[in-house]
Chains A and B, each alone.
Chain A
Amino acid sequence: DTGVSQDPRHKITKRGQNVTFRCDPISEHNRLYWYRQTLGQGPEFLTYFQNEAQLEKSRLLSDRFSAERPKGSFSTLEIQRTEQGDSAMYLCASSAGLAGASYEQYFGPGTRLTVT
């Protein structure tokens, strides 16, 4: 059973450095989501892909953030010039998203980012 995987699980970086996270969704899922969660909060939506097309970006996603899903399979989320406020758990989820299907999203284990 291959669920959603994320790499790395933990990342510690110094302020100003760039970081990149990877997400591998469930293979037959065509929808992929990125969320961010900070302590004591629920996850907040960042961006969404249907296949390789990035269809929505949250206002939370500043110009320093970029996400790609080049072949409609895995996705990467890059943060440039990291700031301490970027410290959070970054969650990836995938969904089948077929017409008439249910819309449950299945999550990976997350990448914990700490910016020092």
Chain B
Amino acid sequence: DQQVKQNSPSLSVQEGRISILNCDYTNSMFDYFLWYKKYPAEGPTFLISISSIKDKNEDGRFTVFLNKSAKHLSLHIVPSQPGDSAVYFCAASGAGNNRKLIWGLGTSLAVNP
């Protein structure tokens, strides 16, 4: 059972436009959410996070929105750049002390010049 779901395996966007990546979760005990970017043959790179007590967090071109009632979060990248082309993973952390991350399957973003 996939507790964190990224239902779009891929997304293609024009350079300069907005990229919106979506993530849904099923476990209401998750209290912290993170987005990572991953290039092939490299480890994930942390992008941005949000606590469940907030509904928005912004860092430069990246904004994450959290809708707790819908158990849904999204990552907005604006403006999108060709260097943003990568696989984006949504991850969630539970209230337990270990804070292990539960991951979605990822969305492959292609930003076209």
Contacts and interface: CB of A to CB of B under 8 A. Distances in A.
B91 A55 contact: no
Interface string A96-115: 01000011111111101000
A21 interface: no
Contacts of B102: 45
B17 interface: no
Interface residues of A, number: 28
Contacts of A40: 105
Contacts of A35: 101
25 contacts: A4-B43, A31-B99, A33-B101, A42-B4, A42-B89, A42-B104, A42-B105, A42-B106, A43-B89, A45-B102, A56-B98, A56-B100, A91-B43, A97-B99, A102-B32, A102-B49, A103-B99, A104-B49, A105-B34, A105-B46, A105-B99, A107-B44, A108-B43, A110-B41, A110-B43
Interface in B11-66: 32, 34, 36, 41-46, 49, 51
Contacts of A56: 98, 100
A2 interface: no
Interface of A: 4, 6, 31, 33, 35, 40-45, 48, 55-56, 91, 93, 95, 97, 102-110, 112
A94 to B, nearest CB: 11
Given A106-B46, A110-B42, A110-B43, A48 B93 contact: no
Nearest to A3: B43
B46 A48 contact: no
A48 B96 CA distance: 12
A45 B43 contact: no
Nearest to B51: A102
A103 B97 CA distance: 11
A41 B89 CA distance: 10
Contacts of A6: 43
